[in-house]
Amino acid sequence: MILTLGGDGTINEVIQGMVHSNVPLGILPGGTANCLAMELGFGGRIERAAERLAASHPIPVAVGRISGDQQGSRYFLLMCGAGLDAAIVYEVRANLKRAFGKLAYWVAGLSQFRRRVESLRVRIGKEQWNCGFALISRIRNYGGDLEIASEASLRNDDFEVVLFEGSHPLRFLLYFTAVGIRQVKRLPGVRVRKTSSVEILTSAPSQIDGEYYGREPLKIEAIPGALTLLIPPNYG
């Protein structure tokens, strides 16, 4: 068994060497947001997480694999974001994260809303759409406190993809307000798909597990059963 104490970016680094092994991964919460700890119900306290970890079971789960011509391939466990949220991640500085935690992302986000949102093109199967933000997620939790892909689960072998159309910053302020009250999927301009493969056809910024990846066209695919993760029995 391998235990990791850190945030989602630290966990992402660890899984690069664990994919396609039978070694179980257990997590203890640290870092800034720790979406995985919140998703699994471990919370933010190490003592509480350790108690729940002791009752967890090793379960094979799918991981995502992101591939581009410039950056090569990399695995992710939680999510890939393309467009607006990746642009926000790019603007967040390490010293601000250390000083202010999750507030640093909101500060960076407000700076993005002063200009029009860059458009990207997404293909799923035979369908294509233009949007300003594409979330390709394996989990419900987003940013530690929010929920966007409400039907995603680590127990599934696919992604829940949520696409946000438009480019006007006020439209995205409305989207994120709706995210806060868990009503975002009711809004016009929001599309949801379940799939195991997604393509980003344009050169858009992207992030995986909360860390900036790059700017280029991408292929994102789910790899079933690629990682053994310690999951509590009450995780849905």
Q: What is the CATH number of the domain that holds 12?
A: 3.40.50.10330
Question: Residue 80 — left, alpha, or beta (φ > 0 → left; ψ -120 to 50 → alpha)?
Answer: beta
Question: What pLDDT tens digit does each residue of the chain (236 aa) get?
Answer: 999 999 999 999 999 999 999 999 999 998 777 899 999 999 888 999 999 999 999 999 999 999 998 888 999 999 999 999 998 888 776 666 665 566 666 666 666 667 889 999 999 999 999 999 999 999 999 988 889 999 999 999 999 999 999 999 889 989 989 998 999 999 999 999 999 999 999 999 999 999 999 999 999 999 999 999 999 999 97
Q: What is the pTM of this model?
A: 0.90
How far, in Å, CA of 11 to CA of 160, rounded? 21
Residue 236 lies in a domain: no
113, 183: one domain:
yes
What was the pLDDT predicted at 145? Answer: 82
101, 131: one domain:
yes
How far, in Å, CA of 154 to CA of 3, rounded? 18
Overall number of domains in the chain: 2
Q: What is the rounded (10 degree) CA torsion for 133, 138, 143, 144? A: 160
45, 150: one domain:
no
53, 71: one domain:
no
19, 100: one domain:
no
Point out which residues pair with 79 in neighbouring strands. 137
Q: What is the rounded (10 degree) CA torsion for 78, 38, 98, 100? A: 120
